[in-house]
Amino acid sequence: MYNELYEVWKREIESVELGRLPPDFYFRIADYLKKLKEESRMLDKRTVKARLLKSEMQNVKRMLRELLRMRYRKLVKKVAKGQKVPPGSLSIEEEKIHIGVLPFAEAYHNFAKNLLRGHVLKTAVEQEYKRAVLRFLKDVPAIIGADMETYGSFKVEDVASLPVENAKILVKQGLAERVEV
């Protein structure tokens, strides 16, 4: 696992683009760290093996912190620019977080565009949001809607009414389909 982490970390450092991650990457890293911790707990701290394990754990944590920081920055830049994240680039955990960020980013971009055009904006309480009914094709974690309300989480075949802005994104990502009422 150490070598895989090193390769992923190195690839992320050397590229300006977001690197690909196996879907279960973070799960396996967490398991690896847990095993290192358990193994080091059973050793005499003065042995060479204990010191090597401690050094390995410190290196793993340092690489993981840097990897997470770099990926976070790259994801934020992509979302801020309205760019799509290439399929297969995100782990399961990152995908769930990313789905929740997209509606907020799109709503904020629309807010900024309208404000710069000089449109008078209504407060969130006054503004009425149009809604769409969706049938979910995949499991989707809870999201923050364009109306700043929390929706979900959703399971396959769930049907829900969401703000149109959020519905468009979920349909575009293939996570849901629109239901005509």
Say yes or no: 98 and 170 in one domain.
Answer: yes
Task: For residue 125, name the pLDDT band (cuts at 50, 70, 90).
Answer: very low
Say yes or no: 8 and 70 in one domain.
Answer: yes
pLDDT higher than threshold 90 for residue 102: no
Percent of the chain's residues with pLDDT above 70: 85
pLDDT at 76: 78
- Residues ≥6 apart with Cβ < 8 Å to 40: 50, 53, 54, 57
> In this predicted model, what pLDDT tens digit does every residue of 24-56 receive, in sequence order?
888 888 888 888 888 888 778 788 888 888 888
pLDDT at 136: 93
Longest dimension (CA), the chain: 70
Beta-carbon count within 10 A of 78 CB = 18
CA–CA distance, 133 with 107 (Å, rounded to integer)? 19
Boundary residue ending a domain (81, 100, 127): 81
Q: Give the CATH number for residue 135.
A: 3.40.5.50
